[in-house]
């Protein structure tokens, strides 16, 4: 299978440490095609999407994992979602364009990073950590050190073509030697942004860990997919109530709702609204892009 849009697990055979690699190509470009993000915002959103895929693969669940950053700085909102089906979507909003090479403080200012796990049939779980450190990888490492007490390291990179992430973590059920973990971190720290973005997975792992016994598992495909639908938008309108929607129809003759993730527009005229509130099925082709 090609390296593009892939997620791969790997395991250090002689050490209680596991790892993950993710590479987003066309899936990442699909996100960018829907919003004209400036370069500094692109880099942050791409890294967050790569991280969301990596973190979602550390748990067994049916649902989605959402990374959400909110702050008072230039990049005030960032949302990255990955599902157990290896699909992604994301968006970002900014007041001022952050510099490409800026750290967290200059990019976000004071704020927090929330990690939410939405498991089907269960109450959502959320953990929150401050946006502290040099980059998003640092903030996420702080989250793991505070919430799970598992030694965890991430390396993230993104440009206008792809987003990539490397992840290593101690296996909770296996006790390795501290010097083994420290050696792996030292080796991984030598990786460059260029290597992350351009080296195929096998070459990258060989470049970093050629003196270790590493088992690389088969790749899984990652794709862009938005969860919006005309039916879901109709449910939102129904929740707002008949009176409020009828007022909008009287004023403009149309209710138009846009999905912020994929930029798709859904339009409902008076006949569509009547169908919504009388539970009559309506054709999905009425949605417009």
- Greatest Cα pair distance in the chain: 71
Do 238 and 204 sit in the same domain of this protein?
no
Note whether 145 and 278 are same-domain residues.
Answer: no
Mean pLDDT score, 41-47: 96
Residues 154 and 189 in one domain: yes
Residue 1, pLDDT > 60, answer no
- Contact between 184 and 167 under an 8 Å Cβ cutoff? The reply is no
Radius of gyration of the chain measured on its C-alpha atoms: 21
pLDDT in tens, 226-262: 877 788 788 878 888 888 888 888 888 888 887 788 8
Quote the pLDDT of residue 286.
Answer: 41
- Convert 223-248 into a string of H (helix), E (strand) and C (coil): EECCCCCHHHHHHHHHHHCHHHHHHH
| 47 plus 100 within the same structural domain | yes
In a domain, 45, yes or no: yes
Give me the CATH number covering residue 263.
3.90.1280.10
In this structure, is residue 1 part of a structural domain?
Answer: no
Q: Which residue among 194, 224, 254 closes a domain?
A: 224
68 & 210 share domain: yes
Above 70 in pLDDT, residue 68?
yes
Which residues span the domain enclosing 144? 6-224
Of the pLDDT bands very low, low, confident and very high (cuts 50, 70, 90), residue 289 is: very low
Structure token digits, residue 35? 């919003």
Q: What is the mean pLDDT of the chain?
A: 88
65: domain CATH number?
Answer: 3.55.30.10
Query: Tens digits of per-residue pLDDT, 175-231?
Result: 567 889 999 999 999 999 999 999 999 999 999 999 999 999 999 999 998 877 788
174 and 254, same domain (yes or no): no
Last residue of a domain, one of 178, 198, 224: 224
One domain, residues 54 and 174: yes
Residue 287 confidence (pLDDT): 43
- Closest by Cα among 288, 248, 251, 254 to 268: 254
- Three-state DSSP class for residue 66: strand
| Backbone φ, ψ for residue 163 (5° rounding) | -130, 140
The number of domains in the chain is 2
Residue given tokens 């993730």 in the structure block: 261
Task: Give 148's pLDDT tier (boundaries 50, 70, 90).
Answer: low
Mean pLDDT computed over 156-162: 95
Tell me: do 173 and 251 sit in the same domain: no
CA dihedral 106, 112, 117, 122 (to 10 degrees): -160
- Distance (Å, rounded) from C-alpha 189 to C-alpha 208? 9
The per-residue pLDDT for 53 is 97
CB atoms within 10 A of CB 146: 12
Please identify, among 175, 191, 224, the residue that sits at the C-terminal boundary of a domain: 224
Q: Does residue 239 share a domain with residue 112?
A: no
Which pLDDT value is given to residue 32? Answer: 94
Report yes or no: 176 and 16 within 8 Å, Cβ to Cβ: yes
Per-residue pLDDT at 253: 83
Residues 210, 241 share a domain: no
Question: Residue 199 corresponds to which tokens in the numbers above?
Answer: 């080296």
Six-digit token string for 75 = 């990049």
pLDDT at 108 over 80: yes
The reply to whether 187 and 266 lie within a common domain is no
CA–CA gap between residue 174 and residue 179 (Å, rounded): 15
Query: Can you tell me which residue has the tokens 């999407």?
Result: 49
Query: What's the N-to-C CA distance of the chain in angstroms?
Result: 32
**pLDDT greater at residue 174 or residue 58:** 58
| Token digits of residue 267 | 């339009």
> Cβ-count burial of 73 within 10 angstroms (0-12 exposed, 13-18 middle, 19+ buried)?
buried
Q: Confidence class of residue 281 from pLDDT cuts 50, 70 and 90?
A: low
Least confident of 5-9, 14-18, 164-168: 14-18
pLDDT score, position 2: 52
240 and 218 fall within a common domain: no
Q: For residues 2 and 84, what is the distance between their CA atoms, to the nearest angstrom?
A: 21
| Residues 186 and 198: beta-carbon distance below 8 Å | no
DSSP lists the bridge partners of residue 265 as 258, 288
């Amino acid at each position: 299978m090609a390296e593009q849009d892939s997620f791969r697990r790997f395991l250090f055979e002689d050490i209680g440490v596991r790892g993950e690699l993710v590479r987003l190509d066309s899936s990442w470009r699909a996100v960018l095609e829907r919003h004209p993000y400036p370069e500094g915002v692109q880099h942050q959103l791409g890294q967050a999407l790569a991280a969301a895929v990596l973190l979602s693969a550390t748990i067994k669940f049916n649902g989605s994992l959402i990374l959400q950053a909110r702050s008072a700085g230039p990049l005030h909102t960032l949302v990255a979602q990955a599902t157990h089906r290896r699909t992604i979507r994301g968006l970002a909003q900014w007041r001022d364009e952050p510099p490409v090479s800026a750290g967290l403080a200059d990019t976000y200012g004071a704020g927090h990073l929330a990690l939410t796990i939405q498991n089907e049939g269960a109450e959502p779980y959320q953990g929150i950590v401050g946006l502290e450190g040099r980059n998003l990888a640092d903030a996420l490492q702080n989250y793991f050190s505070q919430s799970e007490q598992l030694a965890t390291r991430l390396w993230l990179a993104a440009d206008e073509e792809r987003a990539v992430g490397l992840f290593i973590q101690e296996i909770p059920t296996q006790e390795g030697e501290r010097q083994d973990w420290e050696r792996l971190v030292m080796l991984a720290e030598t990786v460059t942004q260029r290597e992350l973005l351009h080296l195929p997975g096998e070459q990258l792992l060989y470049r970093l860990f050629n003196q270790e016994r590493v088992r690389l598992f088969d790749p899984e495909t990652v794709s862009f997919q938005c969860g919006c639908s005309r039916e879901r938008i109709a449910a939102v309108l129904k929740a707002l109530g008949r009176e409020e929607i009828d007022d909008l129809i009287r004023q403009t003759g149309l209710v138009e709702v846009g999905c912020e993730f994929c930029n798709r527009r859904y339009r409902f005229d008076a006949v569509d609204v009547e169908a919504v509130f009388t539970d009559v099925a309506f054709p999905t082709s009425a949605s417009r892009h």
